[in-house]
Amino acid sequence: MATGRTHRPATRSRGIPEATVARLPLYLRALTALSERSVPTVSSEELATAAGVNSAKLRKDFSYLGSYGTRGVGYDVEYLVYQISRELGLTQDWPVAIVGIGNLGAALANYGGFASRGFRVAALIDADPAMAGTPVAGIAVQHTDDLDRIISDNGVSIGVITTPPGAAQQVCDRLVAAGVTSILNFAPTVLSVPEGVDVRKVDLSIELQILAFHEQRKAGEDAPVEGEDPEAPPMRATPASRKGPDGDMPAVMPA
């Protein structure tokens, strides 16, 4: 089996938009579930619903892959699984190194879903000398002093950073210097990388803040206005009944 050093996905050279690339894993997840249930074909509408996108966008995305389906039949599930896996580079082995083996790093190391998607946790690295040699998910943790050798020995091209934010940039610099060209960053900080290095950021606190915003909006919509009878039916204002300092206000104000 080839390693992550020998090949890179052809999505850029083929001109597939980044937005489409971001949706390909969603399609693959939905298709894999169908494949596990031995479903032979799927319509664009059914697959779009399972992936959480609209069917027109799905058909446009698949057109970049050269897959148009068959009218009245739909898409061949197994072929699409192969086609998307190939486009994402998942038909080969991608060795991954996780740097920062705290609670989050250890949880990622123990996650069983990586291997089935083409990713192999090849190395666990930490700056704490006391962690060196400690087995996590069956892999001995190694010290950051040996980072260059570890990356080289394992042919790692994808690094995962789960360190505290203050250490993330230094770790990133060392990974890049060692030959890592793709980084998944869980540290709550923005990393600076040279051209040719891809960074994806995962910030759970930002996602929670976005959810909190929506919860607040929903709570505000449900809360009764002060002085208003919560049992009374809602009143509908007409344009003529709503006056502002400059005269009539439209019933619906622009955002």
Residues forming the annotated binding site for NAD(+)? 100-105
For residue 227, give both structure tokens.
Answer: 């002085």
What Cα–Cα distance (Å) separates residue 19 from each residue in 29, 63, 108, 219, 231?
17, 14, 26, 32, 46
Q: Which residues sit in the known binding site?
A: 100-105
Identify the residue whose tokens are 């009245």.
72
Residue 170, C-beta contacts closer than 8 angstroms, at least 6 positions apart? none
Q: What's the DSSP call for residue 224? A: P
CA 235/CA 224 separation, integer angstroms = 13
CA 187/CA 180 separation, integer angstroms = 17
